Amino acid sequence: MDSGVVIQLVAVLASIMVAAGSVGALLFGVWVYKRTGEAQVQLLALETLQRYLDLAVAHPDLAGPDESQSVNARYAWFAAYSLTTAQTLWLLVGRQQNWQRSINAIVRQHRPYLRSGAFVCDDFSPDFVAYLRSRVAELQCTQSNDAQGAPS
């Protein structure tokens, strides 16, 4: 075999190997990017839940109200904050079974609020409100202050 042909064959094989290595590096980079994004979402969800739990520990009377407790302004704020936390978790990681328990626990703790008619459904995404309705059949909504005669 001619040495020129051998050199050309080696050059072609080297080019193929470099291209394959580049494709492999690209695929590895995409995989790392995806895993990093998933880890960041998990960390954000954990941080969100931790902030809620810190507030719940600081205010146990609001975190686990009696069924008979009236919905005063203080409790309504806490319940709305709790449900905002639940919605955030539901949007971030709600499809994951292990997070479903945390989300459902928050919703379960605030059933009296959801049944009271003080819950402003318009402040939450329609999909999350539908999810809440599947968890609390007696959910009652009120109009937001923005919808009551606010200039448009």
Asked if the structure places residue 117 within a domain, the reply is: yes
Calpha distance 15→21 (Å, rounded):
10
Share of the chain above pLDDT 70, in %: 94
pTM of this structure: 0.74
For residue 142, the one-letter residue type is: T
Residues 6 or more apart from 25 whose CB is under 8 A from it?
A: none
Please tell me the total count of domains within the chain: 1
Alpha helices (runs of H) in 59-125, residue ranges in sequence order = 60-63, 73-93, 97-109, 111-116
pLDDT, mean over the chain: 87
Asked if the structure places residue 104 within a domain, the reply is: yes
Calpha distance 90→151 (Å, rounded):
32
Calpha distance 108→105 (Å, rounded):
5
Q: What pLDDT was estimated at residue 53?
A: 94
Calpha distance 143→123 (Å, rounded):
10
Asked if the structure places residue 84 within a domain, the reply is: yes
Residues 6 or more apart from 85 whose CB is under 8 A from it?
A: 48, 49, 51, 52, 106
Q: What pLDDT was estimated at residue 146?
A: 62
Length of the chain, please?
A: 152
Asked if the structure places residue 22 within a domain, the reply is: yes
Asked if the structure places residue 129 within a domain, the reply is: yes
Confidence band of 137 (pLDDT split at 50, 70, 90): confident
Q: What pLDDT was estimated at residue 126?
A: 94
Confidence band of 149 (pLDDT split at 50, 70, 90): very low
Asked if the structure places residue 108 within a domain, the reply is: yes
The angle at the Cα of 44, spanning 130 to 144, to the nearest 5 degrees, equals: 40
Average pLDDT value for residue range 131-139: 92
* pLDDT tens profile 57-90: 999 888 877 777 778 888 889 999 999 999 999 9
Asked if the structure places residue 152 within a domain, the reply is: no
Greater confidence (100 vs 3) lies with 100
* pLDDT tens profile 22-49: 988 888 888 888 888 888 989 999 999 9
Could you say which DSSP state residue 1 is in?
-
Domain range for 118: 3-147
Asked if the structure places residue 58 within a domain, the reply is: yes
User: What's the distance, CA 147 to chain centroid?
Assistant: 27
Confidence band of 129 (pLDDT split at 50, 70, 90): very high
